[in-house]
Amino acid sequence: MKNGIIILAVIFVLASCNNQNQSKPMDTTQNEKVIKQYFEYFNSHNWKKMAEMYTETADFKDPSLGQGIVKQTRKQIQEKYAALNEVFPDLKDSIVQIYPSGEKHIIVEFVSTGTAPDNSKFELPICTIFTIENGMITKDFTYFDNFEEEDSK
């Protein structure tokens, strides 16, 4: 009987210790809200509000900016998208899926579409990894196929 009580006590202690080591699921809801707001600003072409979602200077990886990491200010971000919007007045991003990844990262799969002044349309699948710290976007690493076909001679 005494041995049974000791065994039960040991099992209880081990079970209690084991439960403390289990990690709680991360709450990425706030970061997802940030990104959904970001795309709302994008699709309403509110470049100023969208740029304000970044830290004063943020890190970018973007085929349109060249290779490697490029630092951009909010002003540069706003100007870049305003210029893009001049070429494609109906510029729109449609989210396919949002993938939270850890405490600071949100991966977004989306399709960008638009129509140029000559009525040519584009549809470009894109994947962006956002790093969000203290509610602000600090990194924007964007990947898409930047291949341009050459005219055959």
User: What is the pTM for the complete model shown?
Assistant: 0.78
Structural domain tally of the chain?
1
Is the pLDDT score of 3 beyond 80? no
**Closest C-alpha among 35, 143, 148, 41 to residue 92:** 41
Q: Is residue 113 one of the residues assigned to a domain? A: yes
Q: Is residue 13 one of the residues assigned to a domain? A: no
DSSP symbol at 145? -
DSSP output for 76-89 = HHHHHHHHHHHH-T
CATH number for the domain spanning 117: value is: 3.10.450.50
Q: Is residue 3 one of the residues assigned to a domain? A: no
Cross-strand bridge partners of residue 95: 110
Q: Is residue 12 one of the residues assigned to a domain? A: no
More confident residue, 90 or 15: 90
Q: Is residue 114 one of the residues assigned to a domain? A: yes
Question: Which domain does 92 fall in, by range?
Answer: 27-144
pLDDT tens-place string over residues 118-130 = 999 999 999 999 9
